[in-house]
Amino acid sequence: MTLLARIARFLFWLLVISWSAWLLRRVFGWMLKNAASEQQQNGTGSAAPQTPPGSHRLVRDPVCGMHVDETLSIPLREDGELLHFCSLACRDAHIAGARKFAAHG
């Protein structure tokens, strides 16, 4: 078999495999979407309003000023106020600063 025939055969099978993967992804996505819509219609889904896909509320870290997705942030309730931090280091720095400020009056 010549080199050109082997390359053509390889490209053909690569195309077949990629189309198969695309088709499987579409079928599974369709099945998951239908299952989710059935849950919402039956009332078995969560009662909380869901945010549209891709939209998240961003909160600002009071220590470094970085904006973080609220679901990924590290929350801390302090004096009835809910603060969100981007990392444990920022949260610990805020707590240490608050303790230092409280110690000096």
CA atoms of 87 and 92, how far apart (whole Å): 9
The distance between the two most distant Cα atoms of the chain, rounded to a whole number of Å, is: 86
The encoded tokens of residue 99 equal 């303790």
Q: Report the pLDDT value the prediction gives residue 44, as an integer from 0 to 100.
A: 57
At 69-92, the pLDDT tens digits run 989 899 999 888 999 999 999 999
> Measuring CA to CA, how many Å separate 65 from each of 8, 39, 70, 81?
55, 39, 14, 17
Q: pTM score > 0.75 for this model?
A: no
pLDDT-based confidence at residue 64 (cuts at 50, 70, 90): very high
Q: 66 vs 46, which has greater pLDDT? A: 66
- Per-residue pLDDT averaged across 25-54, rounded? 73
Pairing of strands 81-85, 58-60: unpaired
